[in-house]
Each structure stands twice: as structure tokens, then as C-alpha cells.
Structure 1
Amino acid sequence: MNEAVAGSLAVLRPAADRDWEGVTAGRLEWSCRTTAFHIAETFVGYSSRLAGRVLEGRLPLRIGLAEGTDNHGLLDVVEATGALLAATLRATPPGVRAFHPQRFGSADRRGFAAMAIAEVLLHTHDVTEGLGIRYRPAEELAESVLTWIFPHVQPGPAAWPTLLWATGRGELPGRAPVTDWGWYNNLVIPAERLDLVGIRPAEARDLRLGGDGGFEWIDGGPYEGTRDAAGFMLKAYEGGVHRPEFGVFTLVRRADGRAIGGMGFHSAPDEEGRVEIGYDLTEAARGNGYAAEALRALADWALARDDVRSLFATIDPANTPSQAVVSRAGFTKVSEDEEGIAFELRGR
């Protein structure tokens, strides 16, 4: 966050004596001055929603510049409001979410950080394109935006050109131009005692490499099945076939905010609306009904969609506890062979 703002200011401040109001920012309809001010507006909006724990709609809050503020003063406002958001992000607990309209209606602090970085990078690009100034942010910043809030976009040869293409600001060899775009925050599905928190590509990569994915796990977690599932999801992302709503979820206990397992889909539904699910719990969390509770919540969410008609799970014949879990969640046994016992739950 701080690096993105510093990079923006470094390239814009030398051009602050130029006319920004009479120059259009890149492919936008806004002027360069309006676009730069929008960055500060975004910082204030994100800060206030996170600090106020706003879950529905935006706060009735606006900011403005004092009469006579020049471009130097405007950039001072961008710097100050960026510091305000950075402080808010540091002070916000991991489980807190606040309203954002993109896709699933809310974001956590990491989602807001990624969105803020996207605003800085993309609108600095717009302003510098309008002013005829060269700007290229660090690849790590562009990649962080892609792996946090563009899980539906297949990675390209380089992150910055891919981000520009994904937001309708550039071309990418072999891919059609983008005219309608948006980003995804991670989906959260509530259950009785826990939340199913969608894993983003950045988190999946960390889990697959042996990290904690940014979650605080109870003893023994994450279990190997969650790491494997994260690896499969990452492979789908890198192959350009990942659908964020049909990914992997971390099971987070609401009472203490600790992760106890993983659950999710093997892929998006097939042409018949059939989709396979899998799950695991850390050993310390087993025997408390968490898996069946989470599975019911996930099944209810999935079967309420128009593109899902049935869920199925294949379980090893020796894994009787897992068979009990799917049975308690309403699944019925439909077949058995050398690969395992198949259970299915059909929608109404």
C-alpha cells in the first residue's frame, strides 16, 4: 500500500505544475485532476467503511478540496489519505469485513488493501497516459492485485500488462480486448458456528508452499488435504479455468477466529449441473459436528444457484467418519466401486 502510493507520488509530483484540469486521463472521461482526486476519495471511503464496520451501502460521507488548492496540494491530500487508509488496514482485525459492491458485497482488510493498490496503480497510469509520462509500477504490486482480486483472470507473461489488459487499458497477445470488467473479493458463506471463507490465489499459493495462507490455525492445521486442494485451485487459476465462487474455503470458527479445516469444490459444475465437493478438518477439531454444519451451509448455497443441480462426494470405504458427515448433511449413497463410495445430494 505505502509502496504503491509512494510510486504514484514520485511520478506525479514532477508534473504537478502542468495543467491537469484541461487534460483527459488516458481512456477515461475524467480529467487528470479529477482522476487524481478520485484516488484520495477512494482512500477515505475505504477507511471509513472499515473503521465503521459498514456492512450495507456506503457512508453518507464526501470529501472536497479547499478552494484554490493546486496540484501540489492535491497530491498532499493523496499522500495523507493513503496514510490514513494504511493505518486503518493495520488496525483492522483479520475477520472484519465491510461493504463493497463488487461481486460478493463485502471485503476484508486484505481485499480493501488490494483494491486500494489497484486504484493507485490504474489511475496513476490513467493520469500519466494523459500527461504523456512514462509509468510502470513494480511487478510485485501488479501481481498482488491480480492474485488477490482478479482470481478469474489467467496470469500472463508479465503482471502489469496483464492487469492493464484485464481492466480494458491495454492489449495482450492472444487475448480478446476487455470491454467489461470487474474484480472479485472472496466469497464468505456463513454457517451456524463458523464461516466458510473463500481462499484467493495468493492465499492458495502460500498454503501450497507450506504457509498458513494468512489464517490462524488451531493445533495441527492446516491438514494436508487443504494444502492439496489449494494446489488444485492454484493450477486452475494458472490455467485460466478457475471460477472464484467454486473454489476452496477455509473453515473459520467464529468464536475465536481460528481456522479448523478446508472445504470446497473440485471444479465448476458440469453441463448437467453436477459438481464434486471435498473437505477435511484438523484432528483437533474433529468430533464436534463442524464438517456436517459447514457442508450443509455450502450445499444450501450451491443448490440455490441455477447452475447447480446436484452435489456429490467420493469417500474411501474405510473412512466411516467422513461417510457419517455427508449422511448427516443429507447426502445419500448412490454407488460403490474400487475408487470409493459415491454420495449425492440433489436439489429440489
Structure 2
Amino acid sequence: MFAFLPPAWMLSLKKAGYWIWLVPVFGIPVSYWWSYGSDHPNAWGWFVISVVFLVIPILDAIVGRDPANPDETTEVPVLEREGYYRFLSLLTVPLLLGMLVYGGWVLAHYEAWNWVGKLGWILSVGTVMGAIGITVSHELIHKDPQLEQMAGGLLLAAVCYAGFKVEHVRGHHVNVSTPDDASSSRYDQSLYAFLPHAYKHNFLNAWRLEAQRLKRKGLPALHWRNELIWWYVISALFLVGFSVAFGWIGAVYFLGQSAMAFTLLEIVNYVEHYGLHRRRLDDGRYERTTHEHSWNSNFLLTNLFLFHLQRHSDHHAYAKRRYQVLRHYDASPQLPNGYAGMIVLALFPPLWRAVMNPRVRAYYAGEEYQLSDTQRA
């Protein structure tokens, strides 16, 4: 749809378009307001999650792909210096936390919903915290400034998944697309086989990596300088706060939206690396991570919603690049839809395999033996 636009125009359009993340955030209170006086109030509890996973994939196909890469010489240095993009990512933190508290208040006080509406509400809030909150936290924890590190950690603590802050940067980015990485899904592995393994090993890996960091400093793992302890304390304080403010339903709400959010993260991990691997070299090491080792999805709409997370190939090749300057590579393996549509597809393993397995085999044409030889868990 936008292929005819000059690249400079496209970059200007995207500069304003990143504000689209506000749509799902404010979709939460809007769905609550619209349920008032409705003949079917429970349906409105499912409004946001329905739009994200039913409407967005269709709009992705209609809107199409993003044709613009910033010019490395003239545009990237300017874009990287602009504080506007950093401000935009940091602004999500207070608004998301405010939405989270508001969602708990609504659930505790709104009597028009039965358990169906309440479940939809919890899953909808968790979808926003996962799709926007964890996406932004992912952007922030890759950056050096302490403010961004703390903001990213706080968003992860709000969904009880602080281990991601440690394991993703020090583990996943080191071992991506190898059998050593719990976040890299294997060829022909179903989502339901992947998720339990990812939950368990990413949690354990985070503690192992933090213990190794402290050991190098001559400190024990259970030390006050273990950042995981502090982040999980904050998660516990969130849980206590929601329980005190809203009773048992507040505790169920906080834990439920957390589970939805971090499950969404792990499904995205499944989608991003399915079947891809780094070749083992003669010396036993794996080849350097490049833009060929992650699935890319250059659909404009979801790229704006997700702060260019779908240009994941460039992110893994250059992890500290800020979202506004991530590039699309035609040579990267390409997903047939945005993340919202691919998440839905992953929920149905036969359909997923029918769509994705031929793409993996085509990408490794002539090297199909590596799909089994190098991807054993």
C-alpha cells in the first residue's frame, strides 16, 4: 500500500505512527465503557484480545509491508540522536502501569460480568502487557542508560517475568538458533512442546547466569546484589498490593494477566526462530549471528504497534540498535504475516507446520540434513 512513497516520507509517517501503541492501551478502558448498557456485557471483556488476534492479522495483509529502510549515512545518525524515540518508549511505563491498576479496579467492582467476561478482561489486559509492555521492556533492557534498564526491569516485574532481563541479553543473544537456547524453537516442534521447556529453562538459565556474574565478583548467588532477587521482590509487592486493594480477585487478576503476558512472549520467541539454526564450524563453534538467523516480518501495521520488533533479523545481528533504525533485509527468512497472525497460526500445530515447514525446508534447500543434525534439544 505504501510502496509508492519516497523513503523520507515513509520515515516521517512512521515517526507519528509509533503512537499507535496507545490504541490497545486505551482499548482497555474503552471496552469497559462500551459494556455499560450492553445486552452482552461479557463480550466486551474480550474486545481487545479479539481485535488483536482476529482483526489485526487481516489489517496487516491489507496495509502491507514497510518499504523504507533509513539511510545509514544520512538518516540513521539523526534518528539515533533524537530523544523523541526514547521518550516514546519510556512513556509506555507509567501508562501501562496505570492501565494495570485500573484493570484491577474494574474487575473488582464491575458486577455486570460473570466469569466469562472476567476471564476475557484478564486475558485482554495480559495481551496489552505482553504485546506492548514486554516489547518495550525488550527494547529498554538492550540499552546502556540506567534509566532504561530500570524501566525495562519494572515492566518485566509487573508481569512476573524478571528473568527475561538477564536470560534474554546474556543467554538468548549468545546462544540463539542453537540447541543451547531454550527460546529457539526446533524444526517440526509444536508450540505445546516448546512452551514448558522455555518456561523452565529460561527461568533456570537466568539464575545460573546471574550466579555466574556474582561468582566472578567473589559473591554468592544469594546476595543483595543479585538483581533477580530485587525484581522478584517487586513482583511480590505488586501481588501483595493488588491483593490488599482488591482482595482475592486482585491476586487472581495480577497472576492471570502476568501468565498471559509472558506466555505471549514465549509464543513470539517460538515464531521468531522456528526451525532456524546457526551452522557449526569446523572448530566446533557456531557461526556468528546474522540477519539470516531470525524470521523477519516487515508488515507495517504490527511493526508500528511493536516498535519494529518484527525486524527481528536486524535486531539479532545488531542488538543495541534502537528500534527506529532497525532495517529490513530481503535476504532474511520472511514470515507470511505479522506476529498477531503468526501467533494464532502457532496455536494450531498442523496448520503451522503446513505453512512454515515448507518455508524452512526451502530456506535450507540442499542442507536439509542440518535440520535434524544440528537441532536436537
TM-score by shorter chain over 0.5:
no
* Larger helix percent: 2
Which has a greater percent of strand? 1
TM-score by length of 2: 0.25
Asked which structure has the greater CA Rg, the reply is 1
